[in-house]
Structure 1
Amino acid sequence: MPGRSSLTLSHHAAELALIGCAALAWYFTFSGLGDMSMGPGTMGLGLWAFLGVWALMMAAMMLPSLAPLTSMYLRSVRAVRSRRVRALRTTALVGGYLLTWIGFGVVAYAAAELSGLLAEGAADAAPWVGAGVLAAAGLYQLTPLKDLCLRHCRSPVAFLLHVSGYKGRLRDVRVGLYHGAYCVGCCWGLMVVLIAVGVMNLAWMAGITVVIFLEKTWKYGPALSRVTGVALIVFALFVPAHPELLPGLYMTAGM
């Protein structure tokens, strides 16, 4: 029994460690991005610099909702009693998970570059494009594919059954990649919204983080997902008349 108690405590410690890493990522995000002007494009960042910032943002936004699943995964690996091994396996899982979001970051970089070009060269069309992006993201929240990916994120038992057969040194990285792929499928629409409102928009980052966390952990998460979709569609209706609502597609006079 003492051994089981110590394992339970260590799994909770792993969960708290992930939340602590997320808090640290938020600190560096606020301190590093707080001084950057919010607006369209990549803020002058090249691909690799953008991916570094994107990875930090994803760690801040996504690790809180990953923590409970990681703790349950470690709890299912009963043979792992060494703290060092558990730490390495947790790191490998989180690394694989973040790799999927870094991969999506390449798409985000291209979209951010396009938003900057659109805001500068087609200011009249940009609000309509932005409204379309918001409406599309909102509609995706209402689709069966969104529900499928969200059910995966909310069903740790099914997840554990699937990954229990993974073997080899990279098994934990594969576990992270597998879960991360579903997570991207669940949340990509909200991340596209983040590009439309400005990649460096910390207020929207915080709001989307709360939505994602509640979608995955709250008992009313699926209903919140649909409410969020409807809210995005309604918000999109106001954008053509008020393009300043989307800083990611709006070039101010100062810019």
Structure 2
Amino acid sequence: MVRLTAVPAAARRGLRPAGLLLLAAAGAWAWIVGRWRAMGAMPGTMGLDLVAFLPVWTVMTVAMMLPATAPVGALYGRTLRAHRTARTITFTVGYLLVWALAGLPAYALAAVTGRAAGAQASTATAVAAAVFAVNGVYQLTPVKDRCLARCRSPIGLMLRYTAHPGPARDLRAGAHHGAFCLGCCWSLMALLAVFGMMSLWAMVALAAILTTEKLAPAGPWVAKGVGIASIALAVAVVWVPELAPALVGSRMRAS
């Protein structure tokens, strides 16, 4: 008979906060699937004003970002002995506040692409190519490498904030990590403006890429491969407009 080795107590304590974050991500995905079934993938801001768009954007970031961030949040919660779950949650709140604020430029980009979708076909194609190209180039820059490295190895962040007193320490640590995560992932998230902000397949694909970049051993190479592929898409979309369904593909379906 094979005997199962007991999970060490320290590991069990670390699983609980991470499990809570993964549960939140699962709930966000369930909400997204329900909304997607109700309204599908719409171009631009999905007909939402800024006040309505920001909560939707925040739920999207919970679904897409927390699976890769849960290990970091749990690790941060273990840096001190007391109140580990509460510290992990506060860290995550700070992290998500950064991404919620990123909804402001995301809304502006969605509004621009929404207008492009209603303009001439050449304009829509040019905007789609520009978004693909920006992401492709950024994925290959040293800034992307630096931000990704901080996301993959957050030990320095943990040590820095463990020494800081005060109730805002955990919130600041989460916001700090969120800033590096935003610097790592903003151009990938911008692709949603091309594929559709509520495009379920695009969100799943991008979430898989983000998680692989941050957690897999080959993550930095995946980031560069995605950059090269995105540059190729910037060229290919000129001949295959359906590659940008939120801008050009929607127009073609309507015609």
Measured after TM superposition, the shift of residue 210 of structure 1 is 0.6
Measured after TM superposition, the shift of residue 112 of structure 1 is 0.5
The question of whether the paired residues in 2 share the 8 Å contact of 1:131 and 1:236 is answered with yes
Cα distance in 1 for partners of 2:86, 2:246 equals: 38
Gap runs ≥5 in structure 1? none
Report the counterpart of residue 135 of structure 1 in structure 2. Answer: 133
- Of 179, 187, 193 in structure 2, the residue corresponding to residue 181 of structure 1 is 179
What does residue range 35-50 of structure 1 map to in structure 2 within 5 Å? 35-50=38-53
Letter in 1 for 2:176: Y
The question of whether the paired residues in 2 share the 8 Å contact of 1:29 and 1:57 is answered with yes
- Of 209, 214, 238 in structure 1, the residue corresponding to residue 212 of structure 2 is 214
Moved segments of 4+, more than 6 Å:
none
Measured after TM superposition, the shift of residue 197 of structure 1 is 1.2
Q: How much identity, in percent, do the aligned residues show?
A: 40
Measured after TM superposition, the shift of residue 244 of structure 1 is 2.3
Measured after TM superposition, the shift of residue 7 of structure 1 is 4.6
The question of whether the paired residues in 1 share the 8 Å contact of 2:76 and 2:88 is answered with no
Report the counterpart of residue 4 of structure 2 in structure 1. Answer: none
**Residue range with higher mean Cα deviation, 48-57 or 86-95:** 86-95
Report the counterpart of residue 168 of structure 1 in structure 2. Answer: 166
What does residue range 1-255 of structure 1 map to in structure 2 within 5 Å? 6-78=9-81, 80=82, 85-250=83-248, 251-252=250-251, 254=254
1:199 alignment partner, SS class? coil
Deviation track 1:147-204 (CA, whole Å, cap 9, x = no partner) reads 0000000112222122223321111111110000000000001011111111111101
Measured after TM superposition, the shift of residue 209 of structure 1 is 0.5
TM-score relative to the length of structure 2 = 0.92
Say what the alpha-carbon RMSD is for the aligned residues. Answer: 1.7
The question of whether the paired residues in 1 share the 8 Å contact of 2:25 and 2:67 is answered with yes
The question of whether the paired residues in 1 share the 8 Å contact of 2:157 and 2:173 is answered with no
Cα distance in 2 for partners of 1:88, 1:12 equals: 14
Measured after TM superposition, the shift of residue 254 of structure 1 is 3.4
Count residues with an aligned counterpart: 247
